[in-house]
């Protein structure tokens, strides 16, 4: 509850620059990102996503190196303002917070944790990020069907 000191560092991009990394998408992500792209959701899903073996939509990766299609040459996210909630939730992923060892690994990988210019992120905010990450990981498999289910 005391929180953790963190500030994402400019031009870092380490958490995105991961060949084979998977970004799960929530239905809200699909609506927000497709609107940002100026496409309807189905067209955006076709253009910018792929499916996992179990059928969940995830962001596409670049064919040449397996890194997210939205990471630019300056190691910046080209859709930062509307980025998926799982990206926004990093480093507050359940798997990163599950054990001291996992958190230690995350701290080593992310220079934003305990950075000199960090500000304290409170426990409640961290919990909301953990929940958002969990929702994204659950994902969705068929756009119209899932949308109807969510609106019930």
Q: Is 93 near ligand SF4 (CB under 6 A)?
A: no
Q: Which of 67, 76, 82, 111 binds ligand SF4 (CB under 6 A)?
A: 111
Q: Which of the 8 DSSP states describes residue 56?
A: -
Cross-strand bridge partners of residue 58 = 24, 50
- The size of the interface with ligand SF4 (CB under 6 A), counted in residues, is 11
C-alpha torsion sign, points 62, 67, 71, 73:
negative
For the record, the structure tokens of 49 come out as 């996503």
Closest approach of ligand SF4 to the CB of residue 72, in Å? 13
121 binds ligand SF4 (CB under 6 A): no
Nearer to ligand SF4, 84 or 112 (CB): 112
**CB closer to ligand SF4 out of 15 and 45:** 15
Q: Kindly identify the residues of this chain, within the stretch 10-49, that bind ligand SF4 according to CB under 6 A.
A: 12-15
First and final CA of the chain: distance in angstroms?
Answer: 34
> And the tokens for 54?
């179990």
Q: Least separation, in Å, of the C-beta of 9 and ligand SF4?
A: 4
Q: Is 44 helix (H, G, I), strand (E, B) or coil?
A: helix
| DSSP state, residue 5 | E
Residue 112 in the binding site for ligand SF4 (CB under 6 A) = yes
SS3 52: coil
Quick one: 55 or 104, whose CB is closer to ligand SF4? 104
In the complex, the residues that contact ligand SF4 under the rule CB under 6 A are 8-9, 12-15, 90-91, 110-112
């Amino acid at each position: 509850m005391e929180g953790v000191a963190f500030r994402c560092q400019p031009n870092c991009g380490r958490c995105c620059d991961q060949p084979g990394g998977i970004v799960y998408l929530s239905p809200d992500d699909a609506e927000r990102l497709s609107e940002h792209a100026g496409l309807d959701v189905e067209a955006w899903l076709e253009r910018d996503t792929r499916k996992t073996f179990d059928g969940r939509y995830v962001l596409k990766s670049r064919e040449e190196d397996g890194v997210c299609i939205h990471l630019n040459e300056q190691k910046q996210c080209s859709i930062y303002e509307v980025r998926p909630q799982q990206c926004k939730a990093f480093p507050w992923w359940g798997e990163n917070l599950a054990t001291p060892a996992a958190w230690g690994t995350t701290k080593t990988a992310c220079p934003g944790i305990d950075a000199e210019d960090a500000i304290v992120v409170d426990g409640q905010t961290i919990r909301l990020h953990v929940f958002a990450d969990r929702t994204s990981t659950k994902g969705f498999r068929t756009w119209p069907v899932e949308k109807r289910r969510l609106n019930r």
